[in-house]
Amino acid sequence: MRILVVEDHRTLAERIGEGLRDQGWAVDVVFDGGAALEVASYSPYDVIILDRDLPVVHGDDVCTALAGGTSTARILMLTAAAQVADRVQGLDLGADDYLAKPFDFAELAARVRALARRAPSGAPVLERAGLKVDRARRRAWRDGGPLALTRKEFGVLETLMAADGVVVSAEQLLETVWDINADPFSNTVSVTLARLRRKLGDPPLIETVVGSGYRL
């Protein structure tokens, strides 16, 4: 799952980003509404955590633009305003959920997981070819046996499972499993796939489609 954090308080934004990465998710962080609209225009996100009081472009306008555009990301709006009227207004703008500051990180992470399950590609459990992936609990099994996967290995497997037999390019894997700072010229995807293949065992389940990418 890929998440965008939009928060102008840099320390808070980085802490949220670090905490979400510790959950095993790919996270990008930006600090104003203009940057949020820019990166959301070319990067596919599952969930966007959006502060309401943003510089450059106000969070309300960002929310309206995203909700009314082509983005399928679920929006979790953050704000220091905790009145019912503020929450209602935020939801009416197109947000999917609303969390008042200050908040407990465990609740934020739980709300992100809940929003991901509601996303178009957000089936909570994926099963295919003897594999089972529990997205919420970040666990996977093959033929009933548990798989000890790193966060990136799990992310690659989850992405291939969700593609349901469609070829996924290395670039798509970088966008989905890593973050905006990933080096597109590195061999990180192929190295992670090699480790994942070994852990999945035989018979092999991941096919390399030359010139295109990978398919489960």
60-86 pLDDT, tens digit per residue, is 999 999 888 778 889 999 987 666 666
Spans of all domains in the chain: 2-118, 125-215
Mean pLDDT of the chain: 86
Q: Quick one: which H or E segment has residue 140?
A: strand 139-142
CATH 3.30.70.360 corresponds to the domain 125-215? no
pLDDT (0 to 100) of residue 185: 66
The pair of three-digit structure tokens given for residue 123, joined into one six-digit string: 């089936």
CATH number of 2-118: 3.40.50.2300
Q: How far apart are the first and last CA of the chain?
A: 18
pLDDT (0 to 100) of residue 8: 94
* pTM of the predicted structure, to 2 decimals: 0.66
| Of 174, 148, 137, nearest in space to 159 by CA | 174
Fold matches, 2-118 and 125-215: no
